[in-house]
Every structure is written in structure tokens, then in C-alpha cells.
Amino acid sequence: MAGRIPQSFINDLLQRVDIVEVIDARVGLKKAGRNYKACCPFHEEKTPSFNVNPDRGFYKCFGCGVAGTAITFLMEYEHLEFVEAIEALARTVGVEVPREAGRADRKPDEELYVLLRKTAGLYRRALGQHPESGRARDYLKGRGLTGEIGRDFGIGYAPPGWGFIREALGTNDAVMGKLTDAGVLARSEGGRPYDRLRDRVVFPIRDTRGRVVGFGGRVLPGEGEDQGPKYLNSPETPVFRKARELYGLYEARRTPGKRLERLIVVEGYMDVVALAQQGIDNAVATLGTAVGRDHLEKLFRNVPEVVCCFDGDTAGREAAWRALEVGLASLDEGRRLKFVFLPEGEDPDTLVRSAGKAAFEKLVAEAVPAGDYLVERLSAGLDLTSLDDRAVFGESARPLLARIPPGVHRQVLIERIAGQIGVAPGTLDSSDARAPEPVATRSARPAAPGGTGESRLGERLLGDLLRTPVLFRSLPAPLSEALFDAGREDSLFPQVAREVSGDPDVESAVLLARFSRHPGYETLCTLAATPPELSAEDIANGFPEGVRHYVRARSGADRRKLLDGSRDQLSRYWRAKQESMRFERGREAQPADASDR
């Protein structure tokens, strides 16, 4: 991976870019006073509620809640990753994107991407032109695929023989070495290079930027010769990691202006392509591995809802359970993980061809939420009128519930299970059961209410400061220091205030850009774009007093928390002391010869 983009460059870029020009070139804005308006490109509406503020450099839709800077607009509208959006903006003003040097962030050899692209082109042409490609074309037509869908996914054909790619591209030992590094060629025990894929339909695997990073080959049916596994993927390479890539994600993301709301995870290439052929263009597949945490995090960066589609047999349900166990840690606020179990003997490919698009979409719409599936699985075979079985259910659930990040989702599920087994919710949410929770990267979506770790007063003050950073100058030094110390780790207001303290004259868009890698970035954008509750004069006059109230409230909460913690520790001490005393009294009352019985 290339080195990080310096934050100073991002700040300067946002000052140079005209957000109105960026958005108007894609949506079409109309001036409305000092701002600009349009119908929101991210949801259906007839009355314009999408506002762009050129002075502050950000946008907000008062219909669906999306908000952000020119960077987040490109990420949402063109389905770009953060770095891709920076690079696209840099091109509009004719500047190169600098990178910070770092030994751990060494850039992969760009020639690997070039060779992989050329290889994909050769496979693609071979599907239409090679003398032995007729069987491959017949196979694809037999699966209901048209030439257009083959073109969209770049499907090709690896001819039989050992040297199709080697002879076309391997002009010297250095190039053959790079083709081997890229996973296109393999080497015999004697060191001779040969084509890894032979007589197979080939599916290029693209990263989110559309670069070919690997290939999957499907053996053609009807041949007596043993050609190895049915599907053969590229090996791990400097540009391809199976645990991170998803087949079809690039294709699902690349429709400009279409806001993805859901991605469907299926098992294989043909499932993805067959669904796309029927107009269901939001399916992706893992690459010969189980659904992992990296997969889910990548998916949730693009959509708020992920639906895993599995066979309804025992193996499919076990795969679903593994995905659930991994996915619990990704269930941050606003994220939904669901499961579909197909009828026995069906896969997405066969089902959509036999029953049609509407039937498949109905199954997806009725997908089982992760919480429901967890309850169903853990309670299966238990008699919840039995005290013992209720205890088994509760004890099985506790460590899994602890994996879910704190928030409404976890609390609702805890309360549901607690109600089923007849215990207080705290029984299932004790600190003893909590496993360490991995830090999750939030999806690029509007944050759920309360995502700031702040009270209502804190959120109002934070919004005021984001819109008018110069307000910080009105705080006396002792009050600003008290503010820095007042927040918890998840409190955004003190964090933003500390950032503003070094440059109170900073522009709002530049201030937001400094938090572009922060998990709360979307929340900050939303607050900055929300109209203030008071006039500018009232905000300026009341800001210092509001901060004093905030600091006092936080200090009081910290004292109460410390006191509650002390009481809790004291209570646990006395319980342990009483248990120890009862044990000692029991030993003293035991007959001397009891140990000999």
C-alpha cells in the first residue's frame, strides 16, 4: 500500500476545490440565496432538499440526512474509497497527491497491475477468437449469460496448453518473474514457468479501483481429463489478498449516482454474474474463503445492510453461523447483517433462472436479521420452560453478546434474551463476560443519533464550534483547559475543541478534513451542516456559559461514576468476605475424620 496522504495536503486541497463546481458537474445545482439546491442524488424526492453551502464547503440533505465535504460527496456519488476521492479531486485542480514516506507502507510494483491487465485482455480476446473457445462460449450461453454481461465482468478463456500467457507476455526472465509474482504463471519442480490457468473460463478479480488483481478459473464440463479443482483462484500475491477482496464489488459500486443500500454475499463467481444477468447487480462473492471480518468491514464501508445468502443444508447453516460469529463485532450503529437460506438443492444461479428476479428479491427482503438468527440458533432444541435450559441459553449468549459494540443494537438484543429467560438484562451484560472489542471502521453513512458520545448540550456546542470555529476565542484559558479534560474517550466535543485551539480561524471544511480518518467523521459532517437553533449573536454570547455547564455536568458525572465504582468494589469485597467466612465456619464444623470417609 502507498504511504499516507499528508493531512496538510487534504486541508489545502479542500481550500482550493470549489464544492459547488464538483457537485454541479454531477447533479445540477440551482442558486437559492447564498446556498445552492438540488433534488438529492441519494434518495428519491420531488422537492429539492439537498443544500450546498459554498462558504463552509459542505453539503447536507434535509431529507435523508447525508452530509459532508467534496471528499465525502465523491465517495458517496461515485462509490470511491477515501484515497480515490482525494486523487479525483486533485486531478480537477491539476496537482499530484503526495505521500508520506514509510517503510511499512511500501507501494506494490505497478508493473504487476500492468501485466495483470494485459493478461485479462488476452483471456478476453481468447474467448471470442481462440479456435478452442467454442466450448467455453457454449458453457456460458448454457448458463444463460449474454455477451453484454460477459463484457461487463471481463469474462475470458484460458486456452489449453502450458504456454499461452507465457509465450505472449514472457519476453524475458524478468517479466516471467513478475508474471509469477502476480500469480499468472507457476513453476514446475525444475523451475520452468507455465500457465497456471488452462482450458478454463476465466473471471478477472478487480479491486475497488477497477484494477485486475487476480483471476478465478472455472473448469469446463464434459472432459475426461482431470483438470484439478472445479474453481482455481490466483494465489496470494503482493496485490491480491483473498481475505480482503470480494468478487463483483467493483461492478456493484460503479454505477454513478446510484446509492447502494444493500450488498448480497453469495458463494461463487457464477452466482454473482447470473444475478447481474437478471438485473440484481448488488451481489458479491468471497474468493474461496469463509466470510471474514475484513470482508464485512469492506462491505459495511459501502452499505448499511449486508445479506449473506447460503444453502439451506447443514453446511450452509454452519457457514452462516461462522459468518454471524465474525460479524457480531461489526454491528455498529446503523449496520444490519442478515441471512437468507435457500431451498434445498438451489443456489442463487439456479434459483434466479428458474423462479425469476422477483422471487429471489422476495427472499432477500425477508432475510433473517442477525439477532433473530442468533436467538434461533442458541435456543434450538432447548425447552425454555426449563430452568436448566434457560440457563444454558443465557450462558451461551453472554460471550456472543459481548462481541457486539455498545449501543442500541446490543441493548435491544440483551433485553430480548433476558426477557426470554427471565433474568435482569445486567445478568447478560456483566463486565466479566465482555471480550475485547475490535475497533470497527464506520460505514460511510450518516451516523446514528448519539454517535458523538455527547449529551444534547454537547452536540449543540459541538455543532456551533464546527460551523464557527472562531467561537473558541471566547473561552478563557482555564475554561478551555477544563474542557479538554472533561470528555471521555468517545467524546467528540473536547477532541474538536483541542484541534481548534491551535487555529481558531480555520475554515469549517478544513477543520472537518482534519477528522476525515476519524470514526466519527460522518457525525461531524452532519452536525456541521445542521442549521443552528439560535441566531449567530445568541450563539456567540452563550457559547462560554454553555461550555461551563458542559464541564460542570461532565465533572459531576465522572464523580458519580467513581463513587458508583467504589460502592461496587466494596460490595464485591464484602460478598467475597462473607463467602470466605462461611467456608471457614463449615471447615471448623466438619468432623476431624471426615477426610478419611
Amino acid at site 246: L
Q: Residue 541: left (phi > 0), alpha (psi -120 to 50), or beta?
A: alpha
What is the rounded radius of gyration, in angstroms, for the C-alpha atoms of the chain?
Answer: 29
Transcribe 126-156 into DSSP letters.
Answer: HHHH-TT-HHHHHHHHHTT--HHHHHHHT-E
For 344, list phi and psi in degrees, rounded to 5. Answer: -55, 135
What's the chain's length in residues? 597
Under a CB-based contact definition with an 8 Å cutoff, are residues 82 and 515 in contact? no
Write the secondary structure of 454-519 as one string of H (helix), E (strand) and C (coil): CCHHHHHHHHHHHHCHHHHHHCCHHHHHHHHHHCCCCCHHHHHHHHHHCCCCCCHHHHHHCCCCCC
Under a CB-based contact definition with an 8 Å cutoff, are residues 523 and 447 in contact? yes
- The mean per-residue pLDDT over the stretch 398-426 comes to 90
CA 231, CA 200: separation in Å to the nearest integer?
A: 9
Closest C-alpha to 493, from 461, 536, 447: 461
Helix (H) or strand (E) holding 160: none
Helix (H) or strand (E) holding 97: none
290-325 confidence digits (pLDDT tens): 898 889 988 988 888 999 998 877 888 888 899 999
Percentage of residues in the chain having pLDDT higher than 90: 39
Q: What is the CATH number of domain 381-433?
A: 1.20.50
Say yes or no to pLDDT of 413 above 90.
Answer: yes
The β-bridge partners of 284 are 265
455 compared with 398, residue with greater pLDDT:
398
pLDDT at 437: 37
pLDDT at 541: 87
- The mean per-residue pLDDT over the stretch 209-224 comes to 86
CA 97, CA 4: separation in Å to the nearest integer?
A: 10
pLDDT at 242: 87
Say yes or no to pLDDT of 100 above 80.
Answer: no
For 497, list phi and psi in degrees, rounded to 5. Answer: -60, -40
156-158 and 50-53 as β-strands: parallel, antiparallel, unpaired? unpaired
Closest C-alpha to 263, from 237, 289, 291, 290: 291
- The mean per-residue pLDDT over the stretch 83-100 comes to 85
Say yes or no to pLDDT of 507 above 80.
Answer: no
Helix (H) or strand (E) holding 280: none
What is the number of other CB atoms lying within 10 angstroms of the CB of residue 481? Answer: 13
CA 56, CA 58: separation in Å to the nearest integer?
A: 6
Query: DSSP letter at 391?
Result: H
Under a CB-based contact definition with an 8 Å cutoff, are residues 291 and 322 in contact? yes
458 compared with 579, residue with greater pLDDT:
458
CA 14, CA 40: separation in Å to the nearest integer?
A: 22
Q: What is the CATH number of domain 7-104?
A: 3.90.580.10
What is the number of other CB atoms lying within 10 angstroms of the CB of residue 37? Answer: 16
Burial 216-247 (b: 16+ CB within 10 A, else e): bbbbbeeeeeeeeeebbbbeebebbebeebbb
CA 286, CA 523: separation in Å to the nearest integer?
A: 31
How is the chain split among helix, strand and coil, in percent rounded to 5?
Answer: 50, 10, 35
Query: pLDDT-based confidence at 431, cuts 50/70/90?
Result: very low
126 compared with 527, residue with greater pLDDT:
126
Q: Where are the beta strands (DSSP E) in 50-136?
A: 50-53, 58-61, 67-68
Query: pLDDT-based confidence at 128, cuts 50/70/90?
Result: very high
The β-bridge partners of 543 are none
pLDDT at 589: 53
CA 34, CA 52: separation in Å to the nearest integer?
A: 9
Query: pLDDT-based confidence at 407, cuts 50/70/90?
Result: confident
Percentage of residues in the chain having pLDDT higher than 70: 84
The β-bridge partners of 311 are 342
Say yes or no to pLDDT of 411 above 70.
Answer: yes
Query: pLDDT-based confidence at 585, cuts 50/70/90?
Result: low
pTM metric for this prediction? 0.64
168-211 confidence digits (pLDDT tens): 998 888 999 999 999 999 998 888 999 999 999 999 999 988 89
Say yes or no to pLDDT of 264 above 90.
Answer: yes
3-state secondary structure at position 185: strand
Q: What is the mean pLDDT of the chain?
A: 82
CATH class of this structure's domain 110-240: alpha beta
Query: pLDDT-based confidence at 250, cuts 50/70/90?
Result: very high
The β-bridge partners of 58 are 53
Place of cell 464546527: 466
- The mean per-residue pLDDT over the stretch 153-181 comes to 92
The grid coordinates of residue 457 equal 448540550
Say yes or no to pLDDT of 226 above 80.
Answer: no
335 compared with 265, residue with greater pLDDT:
265
CA 12, CA 468: separation in Å to the nearest integer?
A: 19
Closest C-alpha to 120, from 157, 163, 174: 157
Say yes or no to pLDDT of 273 above 90.
Answer: yes
C-alpha distances in Å from residue 491, one per residue of 404, 453, 539: 20, 5, 21
476-487 confidence digits (pLDDT tens): 888 888 888 876
CA 494, CA 154: separation in Å to the nearest integer?
A: 50
378-397 confidence digits (pLDDT tens): 999 999 999 999 999 999 99
Query: pLDDT-based confidence at 578, cuts 50/70/90?
Result: low
C-alpha distances in Å from residue 545, one per residue of 127, 185, 505: 72, 69, 21
Query: pLDDT-based confidence at 489, cuts 50/70/90?
Result: low
15-57 confidence digits (pLDDT tens): 888 899 999 988 889 998 889 999 998 888 888 999 998 888 8
For 250, list phi and psi in degrees, rounded to 5. Answer: -60, -45
Say yes or no to pLDDT of 597 above 60.
Answer: no
534-562 confidence digits (pLDDT tens): 788 888 888 998 898 888 887 655 444 44
Closest C-alpha to 117, from 218, 201, 239: 239
CA 310, CA 291: separation in Å to the nearest integer?
A: 11
pLDDT at 510: 76
C-alpha distances in Å from residue 230, one per residue of 219, 221, 227, 268, 284: 5, 9, 8, 11, 19
